[in-house]
Amino acid sequence: MVGFKYKWKEMSKVSADPTINKGWFPVKIADAAPCVIKTEEGYERLGMINLQEEKAEVGWNDQIQVYDGPQVKKFMVLCRKPGLN
């Protein structure tokens, strides 16, 4: 049976080039993918990252926090790779 393997990978290691990412690609809809965002307070929150713009967003306490630039490279993005189960 063929399926997928899933893994959280640092955004800086996510690439569209299969020779770089060794077959791991972001799980996404259009350009949006789930990511884990580490806040300034040290909390980890589930958010989304726009892979094209390299901009991440997370909402909590009726607020939306937007991150962009170099700090986005440290966030973890959910990726998948075809594999046997």
Q: What is the pLDDT of residues 35-75, one digit of tens each?
A: 999 888 888 999 999 988 989 999 988 999 999 988 888 99
Burial of 52 (0-12, 13-18, 19+ CB in 10 A): exposed
Degrees to nearest 5, angle at CA 5 with 31 and 15: 40
How far apart are alpha carbons 85 and 69 in whole angstroms?
37
Predicted TM-score (pTM) of this structure: 0.81
Between CA 24 and CA 15 the distance in angstroms is: 8
